[in-house]
Each structure stands twice: as structure tokens, then as C-alpha cells.
Amino acid sequence: MNSPSDLKLPDDFSLVQGGPLFQFFVRSRLSTGALGLLKRRIIFFVLLTWLPLLLLSALSGHAWGGGVQVPFLQDLETHARFLVALPLLLVTEWVVHQRLKPVVLQFIERGIITAEMRPLFGACITSAQCLRNSMFVEIVLLVLVLTLGHSFFFEVTTIKVTTWYATGAAPNLTYSPAGYWLAYVGLPMYQFIYLRWLFRFVVWSRFLWQVSRLNLYLLPTHPDRAGGLGFLAGSAAAFMPFLLSQGVLVSAMIAERILYEGAILMDFKPEIAVIVVFLLLLVLGPLCVFAPLLAKTKRQGLLTYGALASRYVSEFDKKWLQGGAAQDEAFIGSGDIQSLADLNNSIEVVRSMQVFPFSRQTVLQTAVVALLPLLPLLLTMISLEDLVKRLIGILL
């Protein structure tokens, strides 16, 4: 059996550096082993998804007009999906690869994973990598996007007007040539990349859950108010491009319904709320697996430091208030008062300890990033001048 020092631990951890699609990218020189060549991958997907739609719709006369209510160049959702959301999903891979490895390394650097726990910690990483590399899962995702994903888009999410890609009403749609490319090439590729990201969130959640089951060395008096796990809040920043991609796509979908179906922004309040909550659960939900452990650490810390405080206060009382101190020992300049204050500060830190390894500020920042792409939609309800005045009034 390998000793803990021989095990390859966080240096090998990556949530995205594996799987059949990743191996295809490497072999086709669309990626390096370290997720390089990002621009090349983005250009490849744009050329394969968006550009054929432009050419085919132009050939059929539906690029700008052609007797349809939504020609290709006016389809905000399509441009947002393939020119913004999909590239941002690819950017997320690179960002997560760069930022999540140092986060995982903190478990060891902070001593939360002790030497005895390192073999088990290494097993958690190995298990996550095996699941991440699953060919079976990616095949299942591919089948889903070609069946359920296809029908969900064309029967549920499409706008109810004639478009450049189809005419008629679902499920009896008549596809244009560009519509066939959208239905069987472009859309499945986007949905596959998106579902692959949802699967990676599952891998990340499972890995953190396994780590939370280990005997972690947490300190209730740690200054981060999270027992030493406060660094996990930094993982949310790695997923910001993912949040932006979904925000942009949702914003475009709502905008189309406002422009072409006569809807108003307030009609979509429930949907926006559900989407924001869903995105918060994706990004911050995996960190919540540590909540029971942090709550237990806080309870034990209050009991332990409470007992220590009782002993110290009792000895302080006997020494300084009941005449236990030596007659030649000066009260002024004694370190006992400072020690009492330090102990009180430690107990206050324990009392303010969070049961989640992230703060309200992290939740707010994550929600703001998700909602940021929807801000332009406010212009459908209020003029830009009035909006600027209100924002200035809020800020000042």
C-alpha cells in the first residue's frame, strides 16, 4: 500500500480534465491536456452550430425576411445560445480547471485533512475522476438530447410564431433546411455540453459529500467563521461564466416573447425566481454537505470553550477577588486580564460561526451574476433615462 506521501492528491484533481469528449478534443487538437486552445474550441463550435444556420437560412430566404415573423438575424435566442452561452460554457471549463484545483489543495494546506486521512482523501479524488471519465454517462446524455431534449425544445420552449427554422404548430412542425441543422446538429450539441455541465455538478457534489464524511480537523475558533472551510466559498467564483451563460440565454428567451408574443417582463417573475434558485443550488448547494459537520463543530466548540471559560473565570475570581494572589503580585500589568479578554473573543468567534461554508454576501454575489444579463430587459418597462436616474438615486 502506498504511503500518504506517495499518493497523488490534489495536483491530479480536475472536474473537467477527462471524459470521452475531452479525449476527442485532445486527439483532434482542439484542446491540450491542460485545457488550452480555448479560442480554437470556441471557433470550432461557432462554425459547426451558428454559421451553417446563417448560410442555410440565407439560401432559403429566411435570414432577414422571407415571410416569417422571426427571421434568423432577428432571432435573439439563437444568437445568444450559440454565440454567447455555448462559448461561455467552454470558458467555464478552463476557469474551473484553473481555480478548483487550488481550492481542493486547501484541504491539505490548512491541515483539515490530516496525514491519517490522506489515503481516504486520495480515494475520494480517484472516485470523482472515475465518475467524471464515464463513457456510459456521456452516451446516456447524448441519447437524452436526441430524444427528450429535442422534443422539449420544439414542443415546449419555442415561441408560438412562424420562424426561420420551422412553420406550423408543434408537434406538426415543418422544418426548413436550417431548421433540420438546428434540430439535429446545433441544438443537440448545445444541450449535450449543458447536460455535461450538470453532470459535473453532480460529480463535484458527490466528491464534497465524500470528503465531508472523513474525520476532518476543523477549528471552531477559526477566523473565517466556518471552522477553516471558508475557502470553499471561493469555488463559486469558478462557476461565474456558467451563471452568465444561463442568464444570457434566459434573457434572450424572455426578450423574444416580449417582442413577438406581446408578453411583459413581469409575466416571467416566477420563472426568473425559479431559475435563480436553481442556479444558486447548482453553485452553492454542493457546499451545503458540510452544514451538519459545521453545526456539530460549533456545538462542541461552545461546550469546550464554555467549560474552559468557567475554569478560567473561577480561578481568576479566586486569585484576584478572594485574595488568592501573592501580596507582592501587582494587579496592574498582569496578563490575566488580557487572557480573559482573549478567551472572551474566542468564545464570540465560536458563537458567530456559520453552519455553511459561505456567507450571505457570497449568495448575493452569485444571484447578482445570474441576474445581471436580465438587466437590459428593464428597458422594456422603463426608459433608459428614468432607469439611470433611479440607479443614481439608489447609489447616492
SS3 349: helix
pLDDT for the residue numbered 156 = 63
d(CA 162, CA 167): 5
Determine the Cα angle at 306 with ends 337 and 308, to 5°. 60
Residue 188, all three cell numbers: 443537440
pLDDT for the residue numbered 155 = 65
Please tell me whether the peptide bond between 286 and the residue prior to it is cis, using omega within 30 degrees of 0.
Answer: no
Please provide the size of the chain in residues. Answer: 396
Domain-by-domain residue ranges, the chain? 1-200, 218-319+342-396
Q: What is the DSSP letter of 286?
A: G
Q: Helices 135-146 and 20-27: crossing angle, nearest 10°?
A: 90
Handedness of CA 116, 118, 124, 126 (dihedral sign): negative
d(CA 385, CA 191): 38
Q: Residues 280, 367: contact at Cβ < 8 Å?
A: yes
Q: How many beta carbons lie within 10 A of that of residue 156, not counting itself?
A: 8
Q: What is the DSSP letter of 163?
A: B
Q: Residues 232, 102: contact at Cβ < 8 Å?
A: no
Longest Cα–Cα distance in the chain: 103
pLDDT for the residue numbered 164 = 83
d(CA 10, CA 26): 22
Provide CB contacts within 8 A for 244, sequence distance 6+: 88, 369, 370, 372, 373
Provide CB contacts within 8 A for 212, sequence distance 6+: 289, 290, 292, 293
Query: Which segments of the chain have a pLDDT < 70?
Result: 1-12, 154-158, 168-172, 312, 316-340, 342, 383-385, 387-396
pLDDT for the residue numbered 11 = 52
d(CA 140, CA 314): 66
Which residue type, as a one-letter code, is found at position 111? G
Q: Residues 228, 222: contact at Cβ < 8 Å?
A: yes
d(CA 346, CA 352): 10
pLDDT for the residue numbered 304 = 85
Identify the H or E element spanning 174: strand 174-175
